[in-house]
Amino acid sequence: MAGEEDRVAAGGGAVRAAGQRASDREIAVRAELVARARAMVPVLAGNASLTDRERRVAEQNIGLMTDAGLFRMMVPRRYGGFQVNLRTSLDVVSAVAEGCGSSAWVLSLINNCAWIAGLMPERAQDEIFGADPDARIAGVLAPSTEVRRVEGGVVASGRWFWASGSLHAGWSMLGIVVPDAAGRRPVQHLAFVPMSELSIEYTWNASGMKGTGSNCLVARDVLIPDHRMIALADVVEGRSPPPFGERLYRSAFIPVMVLAIVGPQLGLVRAALRHATDAGSERNIPYTTYERQSDSPAFQLQIAEAAMKIDSAHLHAYRAADDIDATAARGEYMPYEARARVRAEGGYIARIVTEALNTLLSAHGAGSFADANPMQRIWRDANTAARHAFVLPPVCEEIYGKVLLGVKRNITPLI
């Protein structure tokens, strides 16, 4: 089945010449997908309050992203997907986040699960994407231990928190701990299960990223065949090459996960900077002689400080994405120290995005927290995203510090 990438690269002002290099093709696809994402930002922003209030992404937003093919960014080309690189995914997700953080979060994590599905055996991929290249997968890495071996697979039960995008997914990816044939030496796996075999507990009542629908998935004696499971340690360490050898699916596992978390934060903080600068020429500074914030040197300094931190966040994110893409393109698996550095970069991005947002809200003033002001929603969404376990700054910095110092025992295998 021809991928839509062929059609995108041939259209949208990107006509392919004979013998065009793959990098040119990727640039054309990136430009077209980012343009599609930016075009929907006004609608996404207009639905942001509804998404917050309903605690699920507005169906119009889901429809727009589906029609634009954004849920197929990480789907293999064999099934009509784009199979884009990490840099493209980062740019598209962050563009969506300029309109709605929850929509971008759901888009990013569903694409992340599609990427993991690309590591699975062909039979599993056929089951997930064969009939529907727009199939959406909500995933939870943390495992359940209520698993027993049966012939040809396992039977699993349990509860999985927090499954972002579960309200819009047809499949789930679940962490499970699988015993060996003798019932000993349990090994954590990732397993793919149709959502029709699960139920959802509506437990997502957070103050930020309200619309992500990151609820609890519940399974009761669900049969999972062996071909829909993969050992987590094998994919983390690059010991499980993709069945078709595509470059994208040779990318380092945990670094890919980290970029999925930081993408929405980049777009959110860009939106906050734009809102603060646009409003600066219209808002005064109460109890001062400044009729416009933009005339105040203090305001100017705050805007410049925030902008530099935002630039720094992007530079780190782009270096990480480019390093992941380049290493995979060479047919190599990202070295341990480089993977640890990407985790540290994820934490650093979360830290400086949060700092930049705090500066922007202070510059913008107390009106930032009015319900009608998008700044308060951006602040809530970005601060919630910044507390994801994969990007907690002290944890990520400790991981990287141990690697730099040659400490053999690290605090997690998820590097």
Domain layout of the chain by residue ranges? 4-129, 137-232, 251-404
- How do residues 76-111 score in pLDDT, each as one tens digit? 999 999 999 999 999 999 999 999 999 999 999 999
Residue 15: CB atoms within 10 Å: 10
Residue 409 has pLDDT above 90, yes or no: yes
Contact 361, 379 (CB under 8 A): yes
CB-side exposure of 355: number of CA atoms within 13 Å?
17
Beta bridge partners, 159, equal 218
- Pick 137-232's CATH classification: 3.40.1010.20, 3.40.250.10, 3.55.40.20, 2.40.110.10: 2.40.110.10
The region that residue 31 occupies, defined by phi over 0 for left and psi between -120 and 50 for alpha, beta otherwise, is alpha
Supply the CATH classification number for the domain 251-404: 1.20.140.10
Q: Determine the pLDDT at residue 23.
A: 78
State the Cα angle at 68 between 109 and 13, rounded to 5°.
125
Q: What is the mean pLDDT of residues 366-388?
A: 96
Q: Determine the pLDDT at residue 22.
A: 53
Supply the CATH classification number for the domain 4-129: 1.10.540.10
pTM: 0.94
Q: Determine the pLDDT at residue 159.
A: 97
Of 2-16, 119-133, 230-244, 247-261, give the lowest mean pLDDT range: 2-16
Contact 230, 325 (CB under 8 A): no
Confidence class of residue 12 from pLDDT cuts 50, 70 and 90? very low
Average pLDDT, the chain: 93
- How do residues 321-331 score in pLDDT, each as one tens digit? 999 999 999 99
Q: What is the mean pLDDT of residues 127-139?
A: 95
Domains 137-232 and 251-404 share a fold: no
Residue 16 has pLDDT above 50, yes or no: no
- How do residues 264-295 score in pLDDT, each as one tens digit? 999 999 999 999 999 999 999 999 999 999 99
